Amino acid sequence: MPSNLKRARPAAALAAAALIAACAGCSSPSSSSGPDHGGTTPATSTPADAGQRPAQAAPAGFKWAGSDTMLVWVAIPQRWVALNLAQVSVGQATRQFATTGIGYSALRADLTSLKEEGALFFADRGSGTTSAHGFTTNASALCQRSAGSTTIAGLEAAMRAEYAQIKARIVTVTPASIAGGKAFAARLALTASAGYGLTELQVVALSDTGRTCIVTFTTDDPATFLPIFEQAAATIEVG
């Protein structure tokens, strides 16, 4: 597991990259498988790859974001920013947000680590200014071809091991329905390096073409954002 995972807020694709690597060769038996909320600034971000978006319309108040290269798509609220970190610098990405102080430092550190993985990053542009902690509610996606005999059961075991190392509490793990593969969804409770609580909803998928895809939503305001996360998670498509 990358050493910087321990110091970050529980950052999604950082654990995702470690999880994918950890599960290379996993051979456990396979297991069974809201409204828009954003800042008032219009979205003018560098978009994620256009590619082949899902043919159906996104839910009302949402838009498709993802990558036809990475083969993962998810519907996010209309006002959220969508960035392909393989195509923009950390400075360009950070300037999309109004976060300052501790929130800015944490966001920049996370974007730096996520960029190393070439992840997709989606975020509520205005949430950092309304958060009591300066935290920017966000999601990230990372998809890589699986190595070895990867299974859903093996991915779940690897996920539990990775989050145990950062002392995260796994609240629930349930089968998830996605297009293009099998998946499970885990709800996680973590503590940011600054000491406040965070909630994650992580969807771990094994596509029908043998790719491991992980989409993680993170917030310090679960009452507001968990319903949005759940609606977005239900739209995930992998290839």
In a domain, 234, yes or no: yes
DSSP string, 140-201: EEEEEE--SS--HHHHHHHHHHHHHHTT-EEEEEEEEEEBTEEEEEEEEEEE-TTS-EEEEE
d(CA 65, CA 79): 12
Token pair 């609580």 is found at 197
Does the pLDDT of residue 42 top 80, yes or no?
no
**Strand order of the sheet with strand 237-238?**
62-67, 72-77, 237-238
The CATH number of whichever domain residue 81 belongs to comes to: 3.40.1000.10
Least confident of 75-89, 135-149, 159-173, 217-231: 135-149
pLDDT at 58: 95
Q: What share of the chain in percent tops pLDDT 70?
A: 74
Instruction: Name the 3-class secondary structure at 16.
Output: helix
pLDDT tens by residue, 118-139: 889 999 988 888 888 888 899 9
Which residue would you say has higher pLDDT here, 76 or 164? 76
Which residue would you say has higher pLDDT here, 100 or 107? 107
User: What's the mean pLDDT in 211-220?
Assistant: 93
In a domain, 158, yes or no: yes
pTM of the model: 0.78
In a domain, 105, yes or no: yes
Residue type, 142: L
86, 118 contact by CB (below 8 A)? yes
Does the pLDDT of residue 101 top 60, yes or no?
no
In a domain, 20, yes or no: yes
Domains of the chain: total: 1
In a domain, 195, yes or no: yes
Residue type, 115: K
User: What is the extent of the structural domain holding 219?
Assistant: 7-26+61-238
pLDDT tens by residue, 155-171: 999 999 988 888 899 99
Identify the CA nearest to 198 among candidates 71, 12, 1, 3. 12
